């Protein structure tokens, strides 16, 4: 009888963004930023597992020294597809397009993004780019690596360069639209009282990311067009036989593609700031430094691109300048790491799953970042260029950094997105699998690279002593795969069977926690007025103590 008097599902009685229409049309033509975020989440997850499939093919091939699983040409296509899918269809959009799309309006007290239809268009462009790359993959693929280096890409290979380039071109416009939307929204639609100094650091990070998307992506789009023009019409842009300069391609490509690394990592850094504060119950140490270091990374990140070209034949003097600037970009990243660590000091730390991912991020990103300084050093770079050392370095940043941040954020905001709690025990187990699997996969690659194993080779039978480390790496990738599959299973499970979440299950600061879980279509019943600083955990703690005393 008592249970009949209490509504069984009080949180789901009100219409929310998930229950506001169930038809396919209501999803495919939605302009609700939260639904678009869910559409992105589904499509990006599909591409993540497709990219992961190619990663497993690569690791299986390298299990033995001989090229015995696939033909070497097929191997070239496998690592190209792995790189293209992971970079353009997973790492670049994963945080801004999913968590960013969902959270930016919620965190600033807005009803939606500034241009909801452009937001939907950006998802359709992403899907169109995805269809193009899938078609390219199924009809022959491309074998240049995701970097499309000339003159191989323009004058020699007969694989589907133009179609693959078009896929990246279209996906690039998707991210330009996302960046444009975020910049205008953050400038124009903040709730009253939400000044720049009160913005959550996730917003600062997405703002800085959007600047790079807007300023950098058009350059790579034009570069792809130039590759197509040279291939189709033999105009001399990159081919020296036609009066072009092959290094010009690398300059243009990396002018975008190095800052693209910051497109990937900055939003994850924003997530980590949110997690560290929420699970240590403290305001972030040095708010202004953490906020402005995001912008500093975005700006300085545009000055370092030629460190990818140290052995390509660029001027020694330019190389020295780029080497110095690369060391310089490490400073704002280090500020973040030190400030997160200082935030933990005397914090009331709890070890929920999102915090485990945050700890993982700090450790792995630090290794990834510091090995980046090895590569910024001209002499060492000459030794390890195009070896597995480089592969290990950027996977520590992109997988150890971006993916750990994304998974941490997804667990943190899952109750807000779905209105359900995930199973904490399974989640902690999967975090452990991811951390152990990741290190087992990629740490041996540092040693392999330092010993001289080149990247992008299917066959290392002339160096059979490399096999032990490769076996370890392949074994680690299997553990990592289990770590990624587990969340997929329990998140889907929680949609139906997870306990209902209240508005603020973590007792966290931030406007997104002041509305229902899942939020209503227009986010807030009344526009919130912000009268407090970001991460005011001291005030929240005092309020809780007063409530307990009164209770």
Partner 1 sequence: MSEHAASRTFYVALGISLLVLTAVTVFAAFVNLGPFNPVVALLIATIKATLVVLFFMHVKGASEKMTGAVVVSGFFFLAILLALAMADYLTRAWR
Residue from 28, 318, 468, 489 in contact with partner 1 (CB under 8 A): 318
Q: What is the DSSP string of 341-356?
A: HHHHTT------HHHH
Residue from 313, 496, 526, 549 in contact with partner 1 (CB under 8 A): 313
Name which of 322 and 442 has its Cβ closer to partner 1. Answer: 322
Residue from 2, 6, 316, 548 in contact with partner 1 (CB under 8 A): 316
Name which of 108 and 211 has its Cβ closer to partner 1. Answer: 211
Q: Is 118 in the site for partner 1 (CB under 8 A)?
A: no
Name the minimum Å distance from CB 212 to partner 1: 10
Q: Is 378 in the site for partner 1 (CB under 8 A)?
A: no
Part in contact with partner 1 (CB under 8 A); list of ranges 115-123, 153-161, 302-310, 460-468? 302-310
Q: SS in 3 state form for 211-261? A: HHHHHHHHHHHHHHHHHHHHHHHCCCCCCHHHCCCHHHHHHHHHHHHHHHH
Residue from 195, 288, 315, 348 in contact with partner 1 (CB under 8 A): 315
- Give the separation between CA 260 and CA 230, rounded to whole angstroms: 25
Are 261 and 91 in contact by the 8 Å Cβ rule? The answer is no
- Give the separation between CA 119 and CA 3, rounded to whole angstroms: 43
Name which of 217 and 515 has its Cβ closer to partner 1. Answer: 217
* Token output for 500: 């209902």
Within residues 181-220, the interface with partner 1 by CB under 8 A covers 187, 211, 215-216, 219
Binding mask 227-266 for partner 1 (x = CB under 8 A): ------------------x-xx--xx--x-----------
Part in contact with partner 1 (CB under 8 A); list of ranges 25-33, 314-322, 366-374, 524-532? 314-322
Name the minimum Å distance from CB 50 to partner 1: 33
* Token output for 171: 């996906």
Q: What is the DSSP string of 424-459?
A: HHHHHHHHHHHHHHHHHHHHHHHHHHHHTPBSS-S-
The radius of gyration of the chain's CA atoms, rounded to the nearest angstrom, is 24
Name the minimum Å distance from CB 323 to partner 1: 13
Name which of 151 and 454 has its Cβ closer to partner 1. Answer: 151
Q: Is 306 in the site for partner 1 (CB under 8 A)?
A: yes
- Give the separation between CA 507 and CA 105, rounded to whole angstroms: 20
Q: What is the DSSP string of 373-423?
A: HHHHSHHHHHHHTTBHHHHHHHHHHIIIIIIHHHHHHHHHHHHHHHSB---
Residue from 17, 89, 302, 388 in contact with partner 1 (CB under 8 A): 302
Q: Is 222 in the site for partner 1 (CB under 8 A)?
A: no
Q: Is 303 in the site for partner 1 (CB under 8 A)?
A: yes
Q: Is 4 in the site for partner 1 (CB under 8 A)?
A: no
- Give the separation between CA 51 and CA 200, rounded to whole angstroms: 32
Name the minimum Å distance from CB 314 to partner 1: 5
Name the minimum Å distance from CB 335 to partner 1: 22
Are 412 and 268 in contact by the 8 Å Cβ rule? The answer is no
Q: Is 367 in the site for partner 1 (CB under 8 A)?
A: no
Are 352 and 279 in contact by the 8 Å Cβ rule? The answer is yes
Residue from 42, 229, 232, 321 in contact with partner 1 (CB under 8 A): 321
Name the minimum Å distance from CB 255 to partner 1: 5
Q: Is 322 in the site for partner 1 (CB under 8 A)?
A: yes
Name the minimum Å distance from CB 251 to partner 1: 4
Residue 170 vs residues 91, 153, 335, 371, 549: alpha-carbon distances, Å: 16, 19, 35, 33, 58
Name which of 32 and 230 has its Cβ closer to partner 1. Answer: 230
Part in contact with partner 1 (CB under 8 A); list of ranges 54-62, 303-311, 377-385, 495-503? 303-311
Are 292 and 336 in contact by the 8 Å Cβ rule? The answer is no
**Residue 157 DSSP label:** -
Residue 233 vs residues 229, 236, 240, 476: alpha-carbon distances, Å: 6, 9, 15, 46
Interaction site with partner 1 (CB under 8 A): 187, 211, 215-216, 219, 245, 247-248, 251-252, 255, 302-303, 305-306, 313-318, 321-322
């Amino acid at each position: 009888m008592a249970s009949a008097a209490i509504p069984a599902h009080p949180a789901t009685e009100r219409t929310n963004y998930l229950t506001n229409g169930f038809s396919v049309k209501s999803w495919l033509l939605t302009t609700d930023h939260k639904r678009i975020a869910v559409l992105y989440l589904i499509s990006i997850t599909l591409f993540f597992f497709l990219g992961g499939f190619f990663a497993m093919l690569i690791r299986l091939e390298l299990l033995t020294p001989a090229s015995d699983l696939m033909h070497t040409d097929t191997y070239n296509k496998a690592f190209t597809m792995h790189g293209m899918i992971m970079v353009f269809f997973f790492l670049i959009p994963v945080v801004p397009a999913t968590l960013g799309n969902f959270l930016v309006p919620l965190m600033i007290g807005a009803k939606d993004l500034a241009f909801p239809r452009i937001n939907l268009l950006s998802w359709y462009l992403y899907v169109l780019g995805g269809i193009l790359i899938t078609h390219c993959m199924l009809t022959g693929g491309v074998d240049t690596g995701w970097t499309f280096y000339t003159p191989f890409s323009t004058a020699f290979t007969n694989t589907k360069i133009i179609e693959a380039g078009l896929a990246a071109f279209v996906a690039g416009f998707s991210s330009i639209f996302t960046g444009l939307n975020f910049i205008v929204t953050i400038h124009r639609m903040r709730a009253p009282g939400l000044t720049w100094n009160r913005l959550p650091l996730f917003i600062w990070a997405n703002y800085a990311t959007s600047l790079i998307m807007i300023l950098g992506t058009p350059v790579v789009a034009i570069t792809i067009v130039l590759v197509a023009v040279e291939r189709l019409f033999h105009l001399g842009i990159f081919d020296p036989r036609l009066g072009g300069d092959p290094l010009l391609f690398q300059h243009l490509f990396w002018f975008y593609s190095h800052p693209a690394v910051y497109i990937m990592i900055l939003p994850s850094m924003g997530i980590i700031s949110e997690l560290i504060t929420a699970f240590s119950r403290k305001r972030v140490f040095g708010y202004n430094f953490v906020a402005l270091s995001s912008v500093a990374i975005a700006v300085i990140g545009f000055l370092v691109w030629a460190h990818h070209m140290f052995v390509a034949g660029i001027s020694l003097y330019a190389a020295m300048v780029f080497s110095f600037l690369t060391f310089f970009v490490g400073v704002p990243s280090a500020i973040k790491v030190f400030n997160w660590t200082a935030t933990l000091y005397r914090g009331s730390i709890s070890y929920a799953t999102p915090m485990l991912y945050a700890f993982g991020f700090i450790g792995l990103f630090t290794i990834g970042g510091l090995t980046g300084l090895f590569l910024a050093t001209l002499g060492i770079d000459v030794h390890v260029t195009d070896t597995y050392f480089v592969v290990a370095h950027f996977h520590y940043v992109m997988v150890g950094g971006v993916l750990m941040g994304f998974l941490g954020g997804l667990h943190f905001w899952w109750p807000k997105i779905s209105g359900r709690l995930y199973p904490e025990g399974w989640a902690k187990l999967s975090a452990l699998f991811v951390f152990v699997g990741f290190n087992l996969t990629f740490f041996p690659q540092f040693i392999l690279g330092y010993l001289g194993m080149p990247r992008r080779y299917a066959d290392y039978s002339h160096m059979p002593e490399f096999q032990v480390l490769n076996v370890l790496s392949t074994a680690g990738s299997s553990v990592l795969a289990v770590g990624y599959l587990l969340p997929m299973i329990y998140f889907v499970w929680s949609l139906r069977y997870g306990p209902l979440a209240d508005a603020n299950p973590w007792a966290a600061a931030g406007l997104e926690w002041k509305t229902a879980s899942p939020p209503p279509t227009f986010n807030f019943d009344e526009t919130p007025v912000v009268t407090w600083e970001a991460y005011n955990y001291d005030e929240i703690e005092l309020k809780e103590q007063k409530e307990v005393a009164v209770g």
